[in-house]
């Protein structure tokens, strides 16, 4: 699966700032990671796929819909790490300052 989705304007500004910093201070990298990227991925996936988000730090899954629970991961690279079993998985990848691509939406990973 590959589906592009627009990033919210505030998120696009973050990624444009990263591009500016990386151009000015080449080869230093300024890629956002960790908690902010996780939260960005969750809200982008929820809007793009019609998911309802659980409260922050919900155990095991980030969102749900009529088909059940979903774990959401986002990356600016080529990999994500799963730390626990999940029923369904959505993986997004940042492709530009304005867009993310849903690169996987399907069954999750067994324990």
Cα 70–chain centre separation: 12
Q: pLDDT digits over 42-93, tens only?
A: 999 999 999 999 998 888 899 999 999 999 999 988 899 888 899 999 999 9
Is residue 111 very low, low, confident or very high in pLDDT (cuts 50, 70, 90)?
low
pLDDT at 1 over 80: no
- Residue 90 CB partners (closer than 8 Å, separation 6+): 45, 49, 51, 70, 71, 72, 73, 102, 104, 105
Query: Are residues 87 and 67 in contact, defined by beta-carbon separation less than 8 angstroms?
Result: no
Domain layout of the chain by residue ranges: 3-107
Q: Round to whole Å and give the CA distance between 100 and 84.
A: 24
Q: Round to whole Å and give the CA distance between 39 and 42.
A: 5
* pTM for the predicted model, two decimal places: 0.81
């Amino acid at each position: 699966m590959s589906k592009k989705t627009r990033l919210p304007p505030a998120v696009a500004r973050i990624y444009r700032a990263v591009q500016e910093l990386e151009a000015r201070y080449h080869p230093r990298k300024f890629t956002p990671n960790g908690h902010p990227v996780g939260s960005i991925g969750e809200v982008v996936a929820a809007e793009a796929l019609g998911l309802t988000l659980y409260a922050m730090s919900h155990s095991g899954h980030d969102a749900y819909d009529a088909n059940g629970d979903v774990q959401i991961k986002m990356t600016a690279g080529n990999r994500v790490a799963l730390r626990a079993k999940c029923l369904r998985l959505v993986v997004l990848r940042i492709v530009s300052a304005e867009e993310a691509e849903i690169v996987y939406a399907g069954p999750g990973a067994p324990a």
